[in-house]
Amino acid sequence: MSLPMSRSSLPARSTHPDPAQGELVPQEPPSEGSRLTADVHSLAERTGGGSEDSSEGERDSVGPNVKVKLEGEGHRFEFLGLAFKGLEISDQPLLEPLLRANPQPLTGFTFAALAAWNTSFRYAFHLDARLGQLILTFANPKTGERHLLQPIGRISDEATAALLEASRALPYPLRIVGVSPPFLDAHPRIARDFACDESRESANYLYRTEDLAHLVGKRFSKKRNLLAQARKLYEWQIEPLTALQQAEACRALVQRILDEEAPEIDDSLERELAALDFTLRHFGTLGQRGTIVRVGEELAAFSIWEANGSAMAIVHFERALRRFKGLYQVVNQEAARSIEALGIPLINREEDLGEPGLRQAKLSYQPTQLQPSLSLTLRPCAEESPLY
State pLDDT tens for residues 158-196.
899 999 999 999 999 999 999 999 999 999 999 999 999
377 contacts 195 by C-beta, under 8 angstroms: yes
Is domain 204-371 in CATH 3.20.20.120, yes or no? no
Q: What is the pTM of this model?
A: 0.81
Residue 10 in this model has a pLDDT that exceeds 80: no
Confidence at residue 267, expressed as pLDDT on a 0 to 100 scale: 74
Provide the 8-state DSSP code for 152. B
Nearest to 208 by CA among 12, 367, 14, 372: 367
Confidence at residue 243, expressed as pLDDT on a 0 to 100 scale: 86
Q: Kindly report the CATH number that applies to the domain delimited by 43-202+373-383.
A: 3.40.630.30
Residue 69 in this model has a pLDDT that exceeds 70: no
- Measured between alpha carbons, how far is 365 from 360 in angstroms, rounded to an integer? 9
Strands (E), 297-362: 298-307, 312-320, 346-348
Lowest mean pLDDT among 71-75, 165-169, 266-270, 296-300: 71-75
Confidence at residue 105, expressed as pLDDT on a 0 to 100 scale: 94
Q: What is the pLDDT of residues 248-289, one digit of tens each?
A: 999 999 999 998 887 775 777 888 999 999 999 999 999 999
Residue 52 in this model has a pLDDT that exceeds 90: no
Residue 42 in this model has a pLDDT that exceeds 50: no
Nearest to 90 by CA among 118, 70, 109: 118
pLDDT band at 62 (very low <50, low <70, confident <90, very high): very low
Residue ranges matching CATH 3.40.630.30 in the chain: 43-202+373-383, 204-371
Residue 215 in this model has a pLDDT that exceeds 50: yes
Dihedral over Cα of 13, 11, 241, 346: its sign:
positive
